Structure 1
Amino acid sequence: MSEPRSGERPLLRRRAVLASAALGLSTALTATLSSCSTASGSTGGGVTLTFSWWGNDDRAARTDKAVRLFEKEHPGITVRTSNAEFGAYKQKLATQAAGGGIPDVAQLDYRQISQYAGGGALLSLGEAVEKGTIRTSEMDPGLVRTGSYRGEQYAVPMGRGITGYAYDASVYGKAGVPTPGPGWTWQDWAQANRKIAALKLTSPDGRPFTGANDGGGNEDVFEDWLRSRGGRLYADQTHLGFTEDDLAGFWTFCDTLRREGAIAQAEDSAQAKTTETSPMGRRLAAADFTWDAPFPGYPALLGDNVHFAPVPTTGGRQGAYFKPSMLLGVGAHTRHPKEALALVDFLLNDTRAGDILGFTRSTPPNRVVAARIAKTLKGPELEIYEYAQKMEKYGLDAPPAAPPRGDVPIQIAFGRAYQRVMFGLTTPRQAARELIDEADRELRS
């Protein structure tokens, strides 16, 4: 899941975000980007494409290897690649968009689709998908539609992720809590946390051990809660899909559990930025909401007793959904659209490229490619693959369209508002009212 945000910075408008990104680009930022050029020899005056993405060293090495295979299969095409950590990548891409054009092929976050498609930075892929230039027949249609903006396809998923719940099975066993299944409820979750807190266990530094992290400041957790009740985050590109009562009810639920000592305390949730700094990662809690892709970091840190379970439901209705972990788009100003589309299709659908890329971007959206790679998985990676299969059989609602252009600042405001609740500076009701007012202004600006 997206990481909780902290701080009391004022909400930035989209224009200000783009402007500050452009002004903030510096030599230090440029130094964070690693670029690779082909070593396959002269292209004889052929085409040169640019391709950028974010990710760790393993993803970078695998992606570069897949790109070199593409070059080998397409003589005359050279691909210049660049990658960075996510924060630097977002800033760089915003600067490029403001300055006249993003790379020929770019990796995109779900929350960036509306921003860049609405701003004219992305090439429409509708015709390419319809004609099979980019093949999507082995992908879930609902997942493919997540790359759309106002009914037009602008990006295609490169990975399929899903929310879940990392939990310590040994602690759950000590507390007498059953293994969480696809139909367990939010009330079951609350009771599990209370039972774990009642064990009176302590963390390595001697503080009380709680049931879970406080997910109140995490918009992804709220979305699962909301969808399990038949709601949604956004009604359309300019309107929220939930009410003050919805949000106040969720925050009151979390606030009550924290006050009881059943979930992590404010200061511990506020500093949770990574797996290692989360209350669970610091051995202050038995569980944490997370996404499937980062889940293996929990057993690697805490041991093999940590497993992946579904998020709670409301009366058996799951709020989780299959979301693109990231997508591929083509820059609107590319001089080589045909070649750029070929690269996108190759990375998504070629089985040899799939073998190289593996699950570095979560489950490949192409079912054939995913099933082929799954035969080589083991441990936590196999667990999250099997989890996704289980959830697909259980039944999930279709994913929503890409969030509106104002979603990023709204997400930041969401975490900031709940922090005020955690530290007793306001009530859940008042914070909900203020967040909705702020979100409405952002969506309609």
Structure 2
Amino acid sequence: MFSIRKSRAAAAVGLGISAAIVLAGCSGGGAEPATTYDPDEKVTLNFAFWGNDVRAALYDEAFAAFNEEYPNITVNSSFLGFPEFWEKRQTEAAGGGLPDVMQFDYSYLRQYSENGLLLDLDPYLGNIIDTDPLSENILGIGVVGDVTTGIPTSTNAWGLYTNPKLLEQVGVEGYEGGGSWDDYADWMETVTDAGAAQGIYGGTDWTGRIQNFELQLRAEGSYLFSEDAEPGFDKDRLAEFWEQGDDVRDGVTIPQQRLEEIYPLSGFDAAQTTSELTWDNFGAGYLGNLGESFTELGLVEPPVTVEGAKDLYQKPSMLHTISAKTDHPEAAATLVNFLVNSPEVGAIFGTNRGLPASETQLEGADLQGIDAQINDYEASIEDRLGDAPPVPIIGAGTLEEKFRQIGQELGFGTLTVDEAVDQFFNEMDVVLNQ
């Protein structure tokens, strides 16, 4: 359930951070960038990331490897939990003192980029930062307003997890992937009917996740929000999406009350549902929560809205960025290149930061079990992968959280679909016009 906690944190921090960033934005820029690094120059870089002691130890190991190659660059690192990380960046942005290099979340890239707080990395691409191991789609993820301000370290894609052990327990074959949304609903109903005596359900109402709405919009040639923050849907289309849940909320998917009782676990990692639509890098977390008796998961493509559509895309698990005010842009770019492309870093981190986006780093990672399965899955959906959408609009985290909350209320039956649509559009009006 990391994504729910994370979106709540983004909602809490996201709106408050904008004013502070705007105040600092006009002072961004920095020196005219060079494209070579002087190996004899002794410099110190400050690096900040969110995570825990495990990730900190991995970064320490990576920095030790970096120093073997670049002994004159000293890296001082610090880390915090996700919400605290962004609260500190807010304070630093207002004071003009962001760290030289930062682990960065996609949902904040536009805010910081548009206010001149992040270094333009284009002059370093192809020289200090090796772009050959990175696809054009991956590089495009870090572009805001035609300027590259972030380099993805890792990717994930939307997928459908299933639980083979529970399915065997209720005597139903696993969902094969693809098919229509009706096909998926029918399969869930079969599972729920078979598992009724054991309290096992086919899945969760997919209309509670904004990502499933985006998937359908992309299949139709539209989008959630354009580069200019224009919505790619109207009230009727959103109502149509939420009405899809009417047929599954009553007796097919796990009841909303049950989900509240088992939170912070989801129905899937509480072993009460046999499927879950989510980002593919959730697999290891699911297995950890399910416990040792569950040794494998299924991972297949989600239902298809329009055959042949490029509705899926690779999303960055995280990116690396550089402060526009760094005194050492060349050295900072050298560090970013190492953290993104080094096979040695791939071997150190594995998939701790997600599936490595760089081919050279991926080659260095020893992928086994669920990590290898995720890698195979992303290769299998290549024909469905389209261009990533524009970098999330300012306030995207707030809207995602509102969508989730409305989904809960629809699950409880405390809102009609029309009321839900009005609520979301009212919230969207506030966010887009703040």
TM over 0.5: yes
CA contact (8 A) 1:165 1:311 kept: yes
Q: What is the TM-score with the length of structure 2 in the denominator? A: 0.86
User: Match of 1:239, as an amino acid?
Assistant: E
Q: Please, which of 264, 268, 275 is the counterpart of residue 280 of structure 1? A: 268
Tell whether 2:394 aligns with 1:405. Answer: yes
User: Match of 1:238, as an amino acid?
Assistant: A
The CA distance in 2 between the partners of 1:72 and 1:326, in whole Å, is 25
Q: Please, which of 41, 47, 51 is the counterpart of residue 43 of structure 2? A: 47
The CA distance in 2 between the partners of 1:64 and 1:12, in whole Å, is 30
Shift of 1:397: 1.3
Q: Which residue of 2 aligns with 1:180?
A: 176
Q: Which residue of 1 aligns with 2:281?
A: 293
Q: Which residue of 2 aligns with 1:418?
A: 407
SS at 1:411 equivalent: helix
CA contact (8 A) 1:113 1:148 kept: no
SS at 2:390 equivalent: coil
Q: Which residue of 2 aligns with 1:167?
A: 162
CA contact (8 A) 1:213 1:278 kept: no
Shift of 1:51: 0.6
Quote the RMSD (CA, aligned, Å): 2.8
Q: Which residue of 1 aligns with 2:425?
A: 436
Q: Which residue of 2 aligns with 1:211?
A: 202
The CA distance in 1 between the partners of 2:213 and 2:2, in whole Å, is 11
The CA distance in 2 between the partners of 1:58 and 1:262, in whole Å, is 40
Shift of 1:2: 7.0
Deviations 1:46-75 (A, max 9, x none): 311111111243322112211122123212
CA contact (8 A) 1:3 1:218 kept: no
Q: Which residue of 2 aligns with 1:383?
A: 373
SS at 2:75 equivalent: strand
SS at 1:238 equivalent: coil
Q: Please, which of 64, 67, 70 is the counterpart of residue 74 of structure 1? A: 70
CA contact (8 A) 1:172 1:179 kept: no
SS at 2:371 equivalent: helix
User: Match of 1:391, as an amino acid?
Assistant: I
Q: Which residue of 1 aligns with 2:110?
A: 114
Shift of 1:6: 12
Structure 1, gaps ≥5 residues long? 22-42
Deviations 1:104-150 (A, max 9, x none): 00111111110111122211112112x42211122111121111111
Shift of 1:279: 1.1
Q: Which residue of 2 aligns with 1:103?
A: 99
Task: Provide the aligned length of Structure 1 versus Structure 2.
Answer: 411
Deviations 1:279-317 (A, max 9, x none): 122222111122222212223443124222222111434
Deviations 1:337-391 (A, max 9, x none): 1111110011111222222222211121111321342xx3221111111111111
Q: Which residue of 2 aligns with 1:199?
A: 194
Quick check: 417-426 or 99-108, which moved more? 417-426
Cα 1:362–1:202 change in 2 (3 A) is farther
Shift of 1:16: 3.0
Tell whether 2:156 aligns with 1:154. Answer: no
Quick check: 79-88 or 301-310, which moved more? 301-310
Shift of 1:80: 0.6
The CA distance in 2 between the partners of 1:309 and 1:265, in whole Å, is 24
The CA distance in 2 between the partners of 1:320 and 1:179, in whole Å, is 19
The CA distance in 1 between the partners of 2:166 and 2:222, in whole Å, is 33
Q: Which residue of 2 aligns with 1:354?
A: 346
Q: Which residue of 1 aligns with 2:30?
A: none
Shift of 1:202: 4.3
Cα 1:127–1:178 change in 2 (3 A) is same
Tell whether 2:235 aligns with 1:244. Answer: yes
Structure 2, gaps ≥5 residues long? 22-38
Q: Identity, % of aligned pairs?
A: 29
SS at 1:293 equivalent: helix
CA contact (8 A) 2:50 2:85 kept: yes
Shift of 1:45: 9.2
Deviations 1:28-55 (A, max 9, x none): xxxxxxxxxxxxxxx9993111111112
User: Match of 2:411, as an amino acid?
Assistant: M
